Structures are given as C-alpha cells and as structure tokens.
Amino acid sequence: MQTPSKSPWYREPLVWLLIGIPLSSVIFGIFMLQLALNSDDGLVVDDYYQRGKEINRVLKRDRAAATYGLESRLTFDYGTATVSMRLISHGQKVSPPEIRLQFLHATRAGHDREITLLRTADMAYFGLLPRDIVAGRFDLELEADDWRLVATMRLPADNELVIKSAYSAQ
C-alpha cells in the first residue's frame, strides 16, 4: 500500500484560501480607513434648528427677485477663467455694486466656492473663476443683499446660463 506523498503547506490551495480571506479584509479595511480620513464628508451642522428658521428669510429673497423681475445671463470663459454677467430687470431698476456668486457642489461641501462679481462701467458684472474649482454638478446662488436667484449647472460643460426667478411675482 502506497502512502500519499505529503506536499509542503504552501503548495496547498486551501491554506492560501484561508490566509487570503483575512488578508484581503485587512487590506480593504486599511483602504477604507484612509478614504474616511482623507475625504471631506460635509458634516451636519450643529445649529440645524436655526438654519430651519432661516428658510423664511431665504424665501423672501427669492420672492423679492420675482418682484424685481430679475433675470441674469451668465457667460463662462474657461480659457481665461472669467465669468461675465448681465442683470436684466423687468420691473424696478436693480444694479448693486457687487453680486455674490456661490458654486455649491451637489454632494461635497468641501468643493463649494464663492466669488464676487463687480459692476463694470457698462452695467455688466465681471469676476474670476476659482482656479481650484472641480468639474461636476453645482447649484448656483446669485445674490445681493435683498434678492437671490438660483440655478443648477454642470462645470465645465455649460458655457452660458440664463437664471430667472423661481417664484412668480404676486
């Protein structure tokens, strides 16, 4: 009767399977830890109740834009990293000296950016795009002290954008 020859342990596939499963779990765990530590997760704000109360103030600004009959035409030049804008008022004349343009990333608050558009001599507005802005979907907020216009766009796919008030004037 012949006895089967014993092969070394490292030549057994079952041993490598038993070693591979926990080893892959450790490697995947290290990867996930590194991902969690290096990404900005956009934590929930502590003052969520106060922010909830501010909704009415924001809605008043949206209604004010509708009352003024505001419409803006934004033009993005990615080659020179500039933004130009025309503000059209179908009601009372509105032309503040500067307007804030916020780029709010759809999923990552760490990618949010804000620029100031300054009024030029021909009543247009001009500003510089941030160099570190990432490509993707953004919610735009165009705002002055008493009104606000909102829209959604994709960077760098959209070169021109027309923003009108979301509310109808009442």
List Cα–Cα distances, 128 to 78, 85, 86, in angstroms.
10, 12, 15
Extended beta strands in 49-91, E state: 70-77, 82-89
CA 138 – CA 151 distance, rounded (Å)? 9
The two three-digit tokens of residue 94, written as one number: 């509105």
Q: How far apart are the first and last CA of the chain?
A: 101
The tens place of each residue's pLDDT in the chain, 170 residues long, gives 666 668 888 888 899 999 999 999 999 999 999 998 888 666 666 666 776 767 667 788 888 888 888 889 999 998 898 999 998 887 777 788 999 999 998 888 888 999 999 999 888 999 999 888 888 899 999 988 888 899 999 888 778 889 888 765 44
CA 130 – CA 164 distance, rounded (Å)? 24
| Block residue for tokens 């990293």 | 81
Amino acid 73: pLDDT: 92
Q: Domain residue spans in the chain?
A: 12-38, 55-164
Q: What is the DSSP string of 34-54?
A: HHHHHS---PPPTTHHHHHHT
* Architecture of the domain defined by 55-164: Sandwich (2.60)
Amino acid 41: pLDDT: 64
Handedness of CA 47, 51, 52, 53 (dihedral sign): positive
